[in-house]
Structure 1
Amino acid sequence: MPRPASDKKQRLTSAATTLTLTQGFERTTIAEIARAADVASGSVYYYFKTKEDVGQAIVDALLAETRALVAGWEAAPGPRERLIAYIDSSADAAESLVAYGSAMAVITADLRRHSDELGLAASAVMQELIDWAADQFEQLGFAPEAAAARAMHLVAGFEGGAALSHTLGTSVPIEREAAHLRRWVENTKTQ
C-alpha cells in the first residue's frame, strides 16, 4: 500500500536527520536522503530547493521535538518536578544517546560546520531549552543570573553525559550524571 503523499516532507526530514547523525550533513547527499525516505530523487526538490533548506528542516524538526518534550515536562506540578522530568527523560533516551549522542548537540555542531546561519538556527534550539530551565530555576526563587547559571550547568551536565555515553558506548555516564543532577535539583534550596 503506497504512503500518502502528505508525509513525504516529514519522511525526507526524518531521513536527513538520521543521515546527519550517522554520517554528517556534508557527506549526506540529496540522493541518499531520497533513498532513505523512499522518495524519488527528483521530487526532493519540490520540498527542498537547496541543501540549506534541508538543514533548516532538520532544525525545525528539532525545535518541534524539543517543544513537544518541554510541553510534556510542563505537565508536572511545579518547577522542581519539571526539572526532574527533564533529567529523567535522559533515562528514557539512554539507548539512543549511546548510539548517537545528543541529537541536538551533534546536529548543531555539524550544521555549524556547514554554515554559520544553520549553526545559529540550530543553537537557538539549545538556547530555548536553557532558557526554559532558567525559567524553572527563577520560579524556584533564584535571581535571573543565578537561574541562568544553574540552567547552563544542568543542560551542560546532560549534554556531557550524553557525549560520554556515546563515546564510550555505554549508558553509564548519562545514568550517573542524571542521578547526580536529580539529587542536585531535589536538594536545591529555594531562595
Structure 2
Amino acid sequence: MTNSGDRRAQAAQKRRRLSAAAARVLHEQGVERTTLADIAREAGVPVGNVYYYFKTKDELVRAALAEHRARLDELTAGLDRLPDPRARLAALVESWTAERESTARHGCPTGTLAAELGKRADGTLDAEAGAVLRRLLDWAAAQFRAWGVPDPDGHALTLVSAYQGMSLLAHALRDPAVMTAEGARLLRWLDSLGAGPGVSP
C-alpha cells in the first residue's frame, strides 16, 4: 500500500473510532450535555482531530446514528443465520434483555436519541433516528411474514413498541429487572403465536 493509501486507511479508522465514541457518549449523556471534547476523550484523540473529521456536533450525531444502523445490521445479519423466523425473533428479544444493565442506566440507544432529537426544531436528525427504528420494524415484519403470522406489520409494531416501552420504564425506574420480566413476557407472547406455515413445530 502506498503512503497515501496508508493515510487514507488511518483516516478511515480514526473516523470510525470517533463515530463509535460518539455513539457511546451520546447514549450515556445525551446530545445537549455532550461536547466534542467528550467524544475526543472517549476516542483517545486530540480534540483538534475531531474538527478535522466532523465540523459540528450534528455531524457527529449523524455519524452516531450511522453507527447504530451498522450495529443493527450486524445484529440482524447474525440472527438471519438462525434456522427459522420464530427463533430469530426470540433471539432478538434475548439480545435486548442481555443489555438490561446498560438500558436501565441509559435507555435504548436509538430510542432515547430519537426522543431527544424530536424536540428540536429542524426535524432532520430525528427523521434519521426514526429511519433506524423503521429498519428494525421492517426486519421484524419480514420475520413474522416468513413465519406466516397474520398481520406481520402489526405484530412487528407490537414487538418493537414493547421493546421501547420496557426500555423507557427500565431507564426511568433504574431497574434492569423490568427488561428481564418484560423480555420473558415477550417470549411467551411469541410462543403463543404457535407455529405458522413457515415454521417447523
Q: Same fold (TM over 0.5)?
A: yes
The aligned amino acid for 2:141 is: A
Residue matched to 2:79: 73
Q: CA deviation at 1:154?
A: 0.5
Judge conservation of contact 1:55–1:111 (CA < 8 Å) in 2. Answer: no
Judge conservation of contact 2:114–2:130 (CA < 8 Å) in 1. Answer: yes
**Of residues 130, 139, 145 in structure 1, which corresponds to 2:146?**
139
Q: CA deviation at 1:5?
A: 5.9
**Of residues 13, 24, 38 in structure 2, which corresponds to 1:7?**
13
Unpaired runs of 5+ residues, structure 1, are none
CA distance in 1, matches of 2:164, 2:72: 14
CA distance in 1, matches of 2:84, 2:22: 37
CA RMSD of aligned residues (A): 1.8
The aligned amino acid for 2:131 is: A
**Of residues 143, 158, 162 in structure 2, which corresponds to 1:157?**
162
The aligned amino acid for 1:171 is: P
Q: CA deviation at 1:31?
A: 2.4
Residue matched to 1:110: 116
Greater C-alpha Rg: 2
**Of residues 112, 119, 130 in structure 1, which corresponds to 2:126?**
119
Unpaired runs of 5+ residues, structure 2, are 1-9
Alignment TM-score, normalising by the size of structure 2: 0.85
CA distance in 1, matches of 2:29, 2:98: 24
Runs of 4+ in 1 over 3 A off after TM superposition: 4-7
CA distance in 1, matches of 2:87, 2:30: 36
CA distance in 2, matches of 1:20, 1:113: 16
Alignment TM-score, normalising by the size of structure 1: 0.89
CA distance in 2, matches of 1:91, 1:32: 28
- Number of positions where the alignment pairs a residue of Structure 1 with one of Structure 2: 186
Q: What is the percent sequence identity of the aligned residues? A: 37
